[in-house]
A and B are shown apart, each in its own frame.
Chain A
C-alpha cells in the first residue's frame, strides 16, 4: 500500500526496521497533497521546508540507532489555530491573515520533542466557529468522500487531510464538537480529551472553558499514540490537569467484556437521519455481542445544552476576541481616531459568523441581561454535569450519535445559522461537562460515513479508547478509503 495511506503505527514499525525513511514518507505525503489538494483544499499553509528538515532529523536519529518516539518522522497537520513559532497562524481569519507567532504552542513543542513532522496548518471555520469549514475566510474545504459535501467543522481541514491521506495524523480543537463532527463526516477517528488533559497554551482561544485540543487519526491505535504525545500537565496552562499520562496503547484490547455501556435516549433528537440512528443501534448490538452490558439512561437536561453552549461559548468568545483590535498585531483598518480604527479593523477583519457570535456574547454579558443569560447558562451547565455524574454512576461509557445526519452539501446551511447550530446538539453537552469523547466510523449512508460517539468519565480516555478499539477491530470501516485519489 502507498506510504501516505498507512497508519502511524504501521509506518513507525517500518521506520524502526529501517525499511523506509522519514524523508520518503514525508515526500510521499507531499506528493499526495500535490495530487489531491486541489479538490480537497485542506491546508491554509504547507510547511514543506520545516517538514523535510524534521524528517531529516528523525532519520538521523534512526541512523544513529537511537530509540524513536511513536510519531517520530510521521507527517501530520495542525489546525491553523495552534501556534507554531515562525509559521503563519491565521485561524482562517483575515484579521490574522499575516500573523506569525513568535512562540510555540505546548502541543507544537511536545510534537517537536517527539520528532513528529508537521506538513502544514489545516483549514477551519474562522476562529473555530462553525460546523462545516465554510466559515473559513480563505476557502471552504471539501469532504474527501464527496467533494460536493462539507467536511464538517470547525476542524474540517484536519479531518479532511487525514481522510484524503494528505496527512497521517492531525490535531483539531473541539469546543462544541469541532473534532468529533468533522471526524464523523470524514470517516476518521477523532478524540476530544477531558478538559485540561491537553494544554491549551498556544491554542488561539474561542471559548476558554470549553476548548480542548485532540487527535484526528485513521484508527484508534493512532489516536492513542497522538493523544499520548500531546497530553500532560503544563505549568503554562492553569486549567491543565496535574495527573500522570497513562500508556493509552495498553488500553487497546479487542473485547468489551464487563464494559457497561449506556444510551442516553435524549440524544436521538427529532430530525435525526434514520440511517444514523440505525447505525448507532447496530454498533450497540455489536458491543453487546462482544460482552458489553447495556442499559438506557436518561439525561433530562440535554435539551438545554445547545442554548447553554451558545451563551457560554459566545460570552467567552466576545472577550477572547477583543484583543484583535489592530493595535498590537493582526489586520489594522484605517481610521481617524482610535475608535474608528477599532471599528474598521474588526469589521474588515472578522467574518459574519464571528461578528454574530461576538455580538451574541457581548449581549449575554451586558448589564441587565447577565443574570438571565450568562448566569443562567452557568447554572444549567452544572445541571448538565450532574446528568452525566448520575449516568456514570450506572455505566462506564455512554454511546450516542455524533451528529443528526451525515455530511451535508456545501452551501446547504450557510444561510441558516440555526440549522448549522443544530449540528452540535449531540456534541456540546460533552464540552459543557468537560468529558472525554471519541468519534469513530460506524457505517455509511449514501457513500458518506456515519460517526459513533463514545463518551467517558473525566480522565476516562482509556475506557473510551478500549470500547472504540473493540468496535473498530470487529469492523472494517476504518480501512475504507475515500474515493478521492482513485477516480
Chain B
C-alpha cells in the first residue's frame, strides 16, 4: 500500500484471536511470502537489484503454473522509466537593478523538485502575494494575479496561504496553495519563473523548502525555486519603502482581503539558474496470462488480478516509518505486499486448473510505493485494451487478518460487486468491511481512473506497517488462504459471466486541486479500513499532541475547531487551517460517550 495521503503511520494493536481450521490443501502462499520478504530481495525497491530478483521469482512461478507471456511478447516483464529521486544541481539567483548580490548556497536558494532547468537573464520582478488563484467554480473570488501584469517576468510569492483569514476562507484557499498549483497559476499568467518564500508570519518562516520526492519524469514548464528570507529581504529592501517590507507585505495580505494585491518591484531584477538533477531508473511490471479454455467469445474477454510486489528497499524513498535504530535496514514488506503478490499467484494457480471463459491477466506492479507508478504506466500503455477488460481485482496487504475482518474496497466501481461479494461470503464467512470509495492509495485507483470495474482486498494496518519489522513470520497464512479462496470464487464468477460488469463512476470526495500539504503535526493515526462517520483513530503517536490531549485508539473525532469531521478529507482540511501552538477544541466519541479535549498542534517541516 502506498502510504496514504498525509498522516504518519498506522498502528493496530490487537493480536489475532481468531483461530481457523487449517486449510485442506497445502498452499504455497507461505513459500511466496517467505521468498519475497527474505533479506536477499532487499525490500524490493522499484528499479533495484532486489526488484529484479523478486520479478525473476514471480516469472518462474508464472511459468510453473502455466501462465503465458502476453500475446506478441517474448517475456513477462514490462519496463517503465521513472524518477527515483531529485536533487539540486547548483541553482543560484543574482539580484540586479539597484542591487548586485548573488546567492548560491542551498540555505538561500534551491530549485523545487518540479522546476524546469533554465537560465534566465536579467528579468523584472513582481510580488504576487500568496500566488493563489481560486477557480470561479468555487464561488469565492480570490486571484492574486487579478491586477498584476507578470508576463515574461519573475514572480515572487509567499508560501502557504493568508495566515489570519477566517477559518472558512482558509479552508478554501488551502486547497489552491499547493506549490505545484501556484507554479501552474504563475505559468498560466505568462511568468518566466516563480520564487517562493515562507513569510515571517508563517510556519518554517524564511526557510528553504526541502526538495520533495517527485516521480515526474520532467519539469512542469516553469522555473521554480524556493528562496530564503535573506534573499527576499534583499529584494524587498531595495524598494526602500517601509510599507513594502516582506513582513509588511505579508501582513497586508494575511486577512485574505481579496482586494489586497501584490505589486511590481521596479528596482529589482533577477537572473536565475535552476538545476534539478533527476535520477532516472527503470522499474518492471510483471504480467502473464491464463488463456481462456472455453471456446466462447464473450464481450470484454479479459479479467485482471494484480498486486504490487515492490516495497521500500532499505527505506530510501521517504515513506519508511522505521524507528531511528532500524533506519536503513531491509524493509521486508511481507504484508505490504508480498502477501498480495502471493495471493495473485495462488488465485492464478487455482484458476489455471479450471475451465475459463475469459483470459485471466496476472499482473504484478512495481513502483506502487513511489506513487502507483507501475500501474499508471500500464494503464497509459495497456497491453490489452482497457475497454476489453471485464474487471480488475487487486490485493494490497492481505496477510494480517485480525478477528476475521476483511476490507473490500472500491466496490462502488460496479453494481455487480455487492452481489458477487455477498454470494462468495456465504462460504468464506468474513466479517466484511465494505468501502465503496475507489480512490484508494493503491493500484486499484489506476484502474478505476481507467473506467475498469475494480475491487481491492485489504486486511488492515498494523504496527509493522512500512517498517523493517513487516516480516514473513508475522503473516497469518491461514486467513491469507481464505482470502485467496474468496477472491478466486469472485474472479471465477466474473470471468464466466456472459455479461461483463458495468462500470460506475464514483465522485471523488475530495477536491482534485493541490493542497499546501499538512503543515502541522497532531500525532493521530487514522484508521482507513473502516467507514465510520467521523475520524476513527487506530492509534496515536507516543508523546505527540494527540496523546497529550488524551486521545487514544478507538476514539472517533467528530469535530475540530468548530468544523464537523465526517471523513478523512474533512479532517485534512480542518488540519490545514489550525494554527501551530494554538489549542484547538476537539470533540470525539469514546464508545457512546461524547467527550471534549484540547489539542495543540506542533509544527511539521
> Is the pairing of A and B real?
no
